[in-house]
Chains A and B, each alone.
Chain A
């Protein structure tokens, strides 16, 4: 079975999970105690108004009918209408998702780019000062709330040093005309990177720390494997052993952790967006909860779930790509 069919099969396997997410969020949203209609219409609406709204949002129908309707809508890409914004939820998500994805992807980029070398060096120079520094950094990294890192960075780099802007994220694909100081695409990209730096580090630190820990222990483990001893016994240089013989095996647990970190990163992004006032999915869901805008809550949760599931499928495929022992055929 080739890797494309494997990918397809993994995607199909994800369908029940997505269905489960939809069901859970639907049930939770419908358990929300407040009456959204009252929020929309203010304190003393007329009976006719209330019923009109209820009918419009399908609230007058029994739960299972609404569930089926919601599923049917989902299949057509219809996530319902936001009660607060009065626009389709999908439209709102389309506005907000890019910023969140940008943040998550760049934080993973930052985490991988720093953690992999750090973990490898740490394993190679086990118990050296480099190793100790790396271990302390990763320990503090996994123990610090990302939003506090964000706050502290704003304090130092924005207020005291003035090196970075604190708010108003610029998207790298924004037209140069949208920015006062930008003339070319390069300007926009630079401005975007400038804005993105602090949120990325703030969100990525936890990932970085977690990956460093895994990278280190995975490298230590593979470096003590029999096949590494064999390579050594056949005169392979330590450099080649580190880069080839041990490295590839050691990435397997790292890939696994990357998959699991997606969910942490999504949660962390909610906080990071709040700290840096980024208009992303996180701020959308927090605001919607405050406003009992349950179609938006459902929509964002479902999209989060989709992002996670896709992320896991991608990591699974990378895993299968690195490890020939993963059978593309039968599961488990």
Chain B
């Protein structure tokens, strides 16, 4: 009897711990459900309706099935499907910014964590490279706009040096506009990535670097055989978050081109497109675009995760194998 009672007690005790666990995580879930999950379902729901505002009068909501999606994927007279054009713009600008972002971030993270280099005044460097991220994206692109505008200092300087002629306009060439956007995204985010990757590298067991050094590995070998495979989980995390942020690219191109996505809408991103519909609260079309962005994000995130984590598992397996051999 006593034993049974004890068992019951123990059971109660374990349950009460679980209770506290649930209570502690509940705020997150409540906030998540109210501010993310429900809006997400409402977005999907709205995407099947014709609903917008004409002046101050609400039109709809009228159920239209998949009409909004059909409209999005209907090619124009000469065959362009606009949403694909904007998706391509977004990806090109993201890749152009993300490639240097990751290369520089990895390089800097290696420098800062290297015990051999032992760089002095790291605190200052880390603060400085993180700085651009603290500026509001809108303010940052306003700054770029002022610098590169037709009456800005860069234009005047380059004209004086004879690099460009008087008619040159940074905002009417695809490559310069996209370049500026990529550059801004790169400047804003490489510091952040560096800090995260540094944390990842510092989490790697120092014994492994020592062992590699004793075995006579050079720094390139150490990087590719030791650092990179063990850094992979953090790198995958950084890439996926950067990718999600990239697909949602909005503020930098919006402010830089004053919402026009010039030239010829070649710097217009998916979210800028979505926002065009929100001007008159066209939640149907905007919802459909959101759903498509959601799907694209899911697919691309999945692909990146699959590829990189497969490599990582492979590397880890090999590592284990080798370790086994040694023993």
Asked whether A and B interact, the reply is: no
- Which residues from chain A sit less than 8 Å from chain B, CB to CB? none
Measuring CB to CB, which residues of chain B are less than 8 angstroms from any residue of chain A? none
